[in-house]
Amino acid sequence: MARSKIYCARVLPDPIMTAIRARYALVHEPPDHSPSRPDLQQGFSQADAVITTLTECVDDTLLACAPRLKIIANYAVGYNNIDVFAAGQRGIVVSNTPDILTDATADLTWALLLAVTRRVVEGDRWLRTGQWPGWAPTQMLGGNLTGKTLGIIGMGRIGQAVALRAAGFRMPVLYTSRRPVAIPAGLSWTQCSLDEVLTQSDFLSLHVPLTDTTRHLIGAHELQNMKPTAYLLNTSRGAVIDEAALVIALKTGRIAGAGLDVYEHEPAVHATLSRLSNVVLLPHLGSATLETRIRMGMICLTNIAAVLSGNPAPNQVG
């Protein structure tokens, strides 16, 4: 029997590529960069199943080129790159990779929080220039974490994993959430309005999906409401923040600093951000651990196998 055809938009870690080759026929070898639109169209036109990543825009025009496509397995928990409604109209299933990247993303959020507060990257850069004159009492002073308030916008899986880690720093957590949250015994987690979280937090961490409602959720007005000593952290999607407004807030000292893993117009980063010393910038590394990226691939394959054999996808979205 002929093997089903898979189009994989990007090269995935070796064990996943090996598993794909063992089970399916690849439409063609995936590139190590985001494919051009014609390549994407060609891939979609021949595939029974596709694996996309957050860098591929899957709109109705692209779906119109895909007569035999049954499932789009998105190699990400976020799926704002896909027109899920249009896919549904065409009977194409869309799946994502929830749960397994929760810890990696929460860890990276804390890496950003610690790095920006204790000036880790700034210190490393200074030392490497060979200009460090030795220890001094007033040198590169950062801020304490212990006992400070952590604000979380979006208390889903990743938001809760970030909040759990705050217990180690004895930090109370304020959060917003659309859904009820089961608060673990003994932890100080309090649900608040967005305004309360903005005005009372020392660290504000964003964990909402990018939708029409959350685009520019944090803009000039919200930044104005934050404490001037507060830090903003974003490991969700760049466009949740109005990046131009953030640049002004950082330049004028409206807030103390920011730790960013995601950007409004990736891979472009607002030129001023790279010049500011009160910002730590990472290249979208939230889920970037080998174990996590392998598990994400396995989840894509599980969903594809289910749909191609006529069963529901365990991680269908929309």
The strand pairing partners of 190, in sequence order, are: 174
Please list every residue from 83 through 102 that binds ligand DGY, using CB under 6 A.
101
Give the interface segment with ligand DGY, choosing from 73-81, 117-125, 196-204, 299-307 (CB under 6 A): 73-81
Using CB atoms within 10 A of its CB, is residue 108 exposed (0-12), middle (13-18) or buried (19+)? buried
Give the interface segment with ligand DGY, choosing from 75-83, 114-122, 136-144, 297-305 (CB under 6 A): 75-83
The strand pairing partners of 234, in sequence order, are: 206, 260
Which of 43, 154, 238, 286 is in the footprint of ligand DGY by CB under 6 A?
Answer: 286
Nearer to ligand DGY, 83 or 122 (CB): 83
Nearer to ligand DGY, 51 or 256 (CB): 51
Phi, psi dihedrals of residue 157, rounded to the nearest 5°: -60, -50
Q: How far is the CB of 279 from ligand DGY (least distance, A)?
A: 19
Which of 6, 9, 47, 54 is in the footprint of ligand DGY by CB under 6 A?
Answer: 54
Q: Quote the Cα angle for 222-187-153, to 5°.
A: 20
The strand pairing partners of 173, in sequence order, are: 150, 189
Q: Active-site residue 21, yes or no?
A: no
* Number of residues written out for the chain: 318
Nearer to ligand DGY, 11 or 248 (CB): 11
Phi, psi dihedrals of residue 172, rounded to the nearest 5°: -70, 150
Minimal CA–CA distance to 51: which of 84, 6, 85? 6
Exactly one of 23, 165, 215, 266 is catalytic; name it. Answer: 266
Q: Is 162 in the site for ligand DGY (CB under 6 A)?
A: no
Minimal CA–CA distance to 217: which of 227, 231, 204? 204
Dist. CA 240–CA 212, nearest whole Å: 10
Q: How far is the CB of 76 from ligand DGY (least distance, A)?
A: 3
Nearer to ligand DGY, 35 or 297 (CB): 297
Q: Is 77 in the site for ligand DGY (CB under 6 A)?
A: yes
> Quick check: helix, strand or coil at residue 190?
strand
Nearer to ligand DGY, 254 or 284 (CB): 284
Phi, psi dihedrals of residue 234, rounded to the nearest 5°: -135, 115
Q: Is 287 in the site for ligand DGY (CB under 6 A)?
A: yes
Dist. CA 242–CA 228, nearest whole Å: 18
Give the interface segment with ligand DGY, choosing from 56-64, 70-78, 215-223, 307-315 (CB under 6 A): 70-78
Give the interface segment with ligand DGY, choosing from 28-36, 72-80, 166-174, 275-283 (CB under 6 A): 72-80
Q: How far is the CB of 52 from ligand DGY (least distance, A)?
A: 12
E strand residue ranges, 84-202: 93-95, 150-153, 173-176, 189-191
Exactly one of 119, 157, 207, 237 is catalytic; name it. Answer: 237
Residue with tokens 């191609």: 308
Exactly one of 119, 157, 207, 284 is catalytic; name it. Answer: 284
Q: How far is the CB of 101 from ligand DGY (least distance, A)?
A: 5
Q: Active-site residue 237, yes or no?
A: yes
First to last CA, the chain: 32
Q: How far is the CB of 296 from ligand DGY (least distance, A)?
A: 7
Q: Active-site residue 266, yes or no?
A: yes
Size of the site for ligand DGY (CB under 6 A): 7
C-alpha count within 13 angstroms, C-beta hemisphere, residue 253: 0
Structure-block tokens of residue 223: 């930044």
* Binding residues vs ligand DGY (CB under 6 A): 54, 76-78, 101, 286-287
The residues assigned a catalytic role are: 237, 266, 284
